[in-house]
Amino acid sequence: MISAVLGVVGAVVFGAADFLGGLAAKRLRSITVTAIAAAAGLAGLVIAYPFLGGAWTAADVAWGALSGVFGVIAIVLLYACLAIGPMSILSPLTAVVSAIAPMLWGLLVKGEQLSGFGYAGLLVALAAVVLVGFIPGDAVVRPSLRGIVMAIGSGLAIGGFMVSIDQTGDESGLVPLIVNRAVNGTIAWTVVAVLAILIARRRRIAPAIELRVGATPTGHADLEQAVDRAPRVLSADAVRTGILLAVSCGVVDAAANTVMLIALRLGDLSVVSVLTAMYPAGTIILAAIVLRERIAAVQWVGLALALAAGAMFALA
């Protein structure tokens, strides 16, 4: 099944975008990274539009706009739950919910049908999502009810993004993604402008908004790249590097969404959503290669299960 292969590829590319977003967020505020990435992704999609095309209809534009709103909600809730922690629990919880919600929509609402082998693949994929997204820590901390609710809300919002994009017609092409990025960018840049005004009026507000966790316009985020909130002065080179990383994040994320869109056009939402939720795999692989970070044993098991699930869906 081509859609299964594309789903796995999309997950890896999403993970790469989140990795770049995480690096950018070490140099810039997360909302700034989100805004720049949204603008860069929009520019990339606009450039690609003449080649890939797409019909502009009111329904598809509306679904694209709704997906953009879902993306912003997902980012806000994700930031909030990560700030509360523990990430080792809330990270995979968000990913699992983001997989299950659209999967159930596809199976129960759209009436998608899978073979017994396909349902087995779903179980393997969900296990992979949990293990790949798990961030080992030195101590086990029980999450608060507030953190759990926010993580579930973030996962549901990511699922809402997937369902919204899936509702668009085949003839819409890149139109839903272009509208998605336009909505993301508008909201993000509005927030940046408001924060700039507040900071100009009250300089002391800056430390309160120093939550710099890597983000991408779709609601995906690099859950491992949390950094300290202590304000620090960055050099011009560091700022330029942060901007270039944010631009790269947006372009790569737009490519990942395009791959996901094609996968949805060719296959089932229930399958593509679960495979795409394994996006942390791309992040931890790049972190291991570029940053020499150690991949935990439990994550190696998750990566193996992810490959097995992709193979099962391809054969189903």
Collapsing DSSP to helix, strand or coil, 48 comes out as: helix
Residue 221 β-bridge partners:
215
The contacts of residue 53 (CB under 8 Å, 6+ apart) are 173, 174
The predicted pLDDT at position 306 comes to: 82
What are 250's two structure tokens? 């947006």
Given a contact cutoff of 8 angstroms between Cβ atoms, the answer to whether 164 and 70 are in contact is yes
The predicted pLDDT at position 300 comes to: 87
What are 157's two structure tokens? 């919002």
Quick one: average pLDDT of 190-194? Answer: 86
Helix intervals (H) in 202-296: 236-266, 269-276, 280-290
The predicted pLDDT at position 19 comes to: 86
- In the predicted model, is pLDDT for residue 179 greater than 90? yes
Closest CA to 299 of 151, 171, 127: 127
DSSP string across 51-68? HH-----HHHHHHHHHHH
Q: Which residue has the tokens 């590829």?
A: 9
Quick one: average pLDDT of 233-244? Answer: 82
What are 288's two structure tokens? 């291991």
The predicted pLDDT at position 211 comes to: 40
Enclosing H/E stretch for 268: none
Percent residues over pLDDT 70 in the chain = 84
Model confidence at 214, pLDDT cuts 50, 70, 90, reads very low
Check residues 40 and 239 and name the one with the higher pLDDT: 40
Check residues 8 and 31 and name the one with the higher pLDDT: 8
Model confidence at 50, pLDDT cuts 50, 70, 90, reads very high
The predicted pLDDT at position 173 comes to: 93
- In the predicted model, is pLDDT for residue 133 greater than 80? no
CA 84, CA 146: separation in Å to the nearest integer? 8
Model confidence at 85, pLDDT cuts 50, 70, 90, reads low
- Phi, psi angle pair for 215, to nearest 5°: -140, 155
The model's pTM: 0.81
- In the predicted model, is pLDDT for residue 61 greater than 90? yes
Model confidence at 313, pLDDT cuts 50, 70, 90, reads confident
Query: Which amino acid type is present at position 191?
Result: V
What are 222's two structure tokens? 């690099």
Closest CA to 102 of 120, 135, 126, 80: 126
CA 172, CA 60: separation in Å to the nearest integer? 7
CA 177, CA 42: separation in Å to the nearest integer? 8
Query: Which amino acid type is present at position 289?
Result: I
The predicted pLDDT at position 302 comes to: 85
Given a contact cutoff of 8 angstroms between Cβ atoms, the answer to whether 217 and 42 are in contact is no
Closest CA to 87 of 191, 214, 207, 248: 214
The predicted pLDDT at position 222 comes to: 41
